[in-house]
């Protein structure tokens, strides 16, 4: 492949989230989150793994900041743990929690790395779950209060509201494989509405109180394709697209829900809600891992198997297709890629190197596909690999490693994998080889 050039102002970065890396779940006044509860419930997470020790980032953040600088990152996307800021989900902020994120943001700025802050990456305060969680409208109102506390404490431009509302809806409320572990589609749709409302309320607040800043949602988008070239499969893929993508894109960009997703009982959807949800956004954060191939029976068909995560297919064209489609159907907003990556089971070899060639190949293919979309006019301003370092992969515990930096969860030693060295060179030259 000839080298592909990226614009010199292109923003290269890496992503993490609080519960997955911080550890220290009982320190400095942090309250209990629904993931602490879920992980402690027997049978929910592989090997009974919990967010402790994580990558012990709460204590090692200074070392991790130096690592980011060595890799040449220009942006770092992380999340704030709501239970560190409001241990019970409402009321006066916990100073020590705010101080941690202030130190982190200062450390980034000192090193010339742009912070991108996610307000909610799934670690809901348990006290709010006890009061109904996302099925309760009040959680959306509490989220806006929490957002305003964080907006006021961190002086930084770019903000993301909710990470992957679809995963909360689908894994947390439909399948029950994530916290809070509910398996009921009707309840999932209520939670979905309140997640979107929370996004809209926080976005509106930022616009009213902090002009000059930018905000948007972080959506995991999955292009859907017919598994076979038949009418039944094409229809099934179309139906699947509604559930995967349009349930989130349509209300946010157009102010309405796809007809097929409106439940019989709509009492939770109030007059004016969709105007809040469709508050204009300043950027759309796109997370892409895998397409979905759909069989005539609406069941998923896996076509391009990857070694570790069964749900994740290596299909770069899907990235190109979803980017061009989003830009065509939901135009006029800059796109930032906030997650893309692969799980592998790499360990350091005798020479200390971590040879993760599958990850390099996945990333290379996906960046080439993104480049193709940019050439076709899609305004992608930056890219963040998932993840900066190995971490707690939710229900998979520590078994799946998505990092470009290896973490030994016993010693907490960090070792940049071959993919990290490759990424550093890409950032330095702006050329994809």
Binder among 50, 86, 118, 167 for ligand GBH (CB under 6 A): 167
**CA dist., res. 244 & res. 291, Å (int):** 10
The verdict on 345 binding ligand GBH (CB under 6 A) reads no
Residue 278 or 391 having the CB closest to ligand GBH: 391
The verdict on 279 binding ligand GBH (CB under 6 A) reads no
What value does the CA radius of gyration of the chain take, rounded to a whole number of Å?
Answer: 20
- 339 catalytic residue (yes or no): yes
**CA dist., res. 385 & res. 341, Å (int):** 6
Residue 46 or 234 having the CB closest to ligand GBH: 46
The interface mask with ligand GBH, positions 293-332, x = CB under 6 A, is ------------------x---------------------
Q: Which of residues 367-426 bind ligand GBH (CB under 6 A)?
A: 386, 393, 402
The verdict on 168 binding ligand GBH (CB under 6 A) reads no
Question: Least distance in Å: CB of 286 to ligand GBH?
Answer: 12
Question: Least distance in Å: CB of 315 to ligand GBH?
Answer: 15
**CA dist., res. 80 & res. 23, Å (int):** 13
Q: Which of 336, 403, 397, 409 is nearest to 67 (CA)?
A: 403
The verdict on 22 binding ligand GBH (CB under 6 A) reads no
Residue 121 or 142 having the CB closest to ligand GBH: 121
Binder among 17, 118, 224, 415 for ligand GBH (CB under 6 A): 17
Question: Which residue of the set 135, 164, 279, 313 is catalytic?
Answer: 164
- 164 catalytic residue (yes or no): yes
Question: Least distance in Å: CB of 290 to ligand GBH?
Answer: 8
The verdict on 338 binding ligand GBH (CB under 6 A) reads no
Provide the annotated active-site residues: 164, 339
């Amino acid at each position: 492949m000839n080298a592909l050039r990226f614009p010199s102002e292109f923003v290269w970065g890496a992503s993490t989230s609080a519960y997955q890396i911080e550890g220290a779940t009982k320190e400095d006044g942090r309250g209990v989150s629904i993931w602490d509860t879920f992980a402690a419930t027997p049978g929910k997470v592989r090997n009974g793994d919990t967010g402790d020790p994580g990558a012990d980032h709460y204590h090692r953040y200074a070392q991790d900041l130096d690592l980011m600088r060595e890799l040449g990152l220009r942006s770092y996307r992380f999340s704030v743990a709501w239970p560190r800021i409001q241990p019970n989900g409402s009321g006066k902020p916990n100073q020590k929690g705010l101080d941690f994120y202030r130190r982190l943001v200062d450390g980034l700025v000192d090193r010339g790395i742009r912070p991108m802050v996610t307000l909610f990456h799934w670690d809901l305060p348990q006290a709010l779950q006890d009061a109904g969680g996302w099925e309760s409208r009040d959680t959306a109102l509490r989220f806006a209060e929490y957002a305003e506390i964080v907006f006021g404490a961190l002086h930084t431009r770019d903000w993301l509201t909710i990470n992957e509302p679809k995963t909360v809806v689908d894994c947390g409320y439909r399948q029950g494989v994530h916290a809070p572990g509910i398996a009921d589609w009707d309840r999932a749709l209520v939670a979905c509405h309140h997640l979107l409302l929370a996004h809209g309320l926080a976005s509106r607040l930022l616009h009213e109180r902090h002009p000059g800043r930018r905000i948007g949602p972080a959506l995991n988008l999955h292009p859907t394709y017919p598994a076979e070239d038949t009418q039944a499969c094409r229809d099934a893929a179309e139906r699947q697209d509604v559930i995967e993508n349009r349930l989130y894109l349509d209300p946010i960009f157009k102010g309405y829900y796809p007809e097929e997703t409106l439940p019989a009982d709509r009492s939770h959807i109030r007059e004016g809600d969709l105007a809040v949800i469709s508050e204009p956004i300043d950027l759309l954060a796109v997370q892409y891992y895998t397409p979905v191939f759909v069989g005539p029976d609406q069941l998923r068909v896996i076509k391009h198997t990857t070694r570790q995560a069964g749900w994740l297919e290596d299909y770069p064209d899907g990235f190109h297709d979803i980017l061009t489609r989003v830009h065509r159907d939901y135009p006029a907003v800059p796109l930032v890629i906030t997650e893309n990556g692969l799980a592998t089971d790499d360990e350091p070899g005798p020479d200390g190197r971590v040879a993760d060639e599958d990850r390099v190949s996945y990333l290379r293919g996906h960046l080439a596909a993104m480049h193709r979309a940019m050439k076709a006019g899609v305004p992608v301003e930056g890219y963040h690999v998932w993840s900066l370092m190995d971490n707690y992969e939710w229900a998979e515990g520590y078994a799946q490693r998505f990092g470009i930096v290896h973490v030994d969860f016993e010693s907490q030693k960090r070792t940049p994998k071959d993919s990290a060295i490759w990424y550093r060179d890409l950032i330095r030259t702006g050329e994809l080889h």
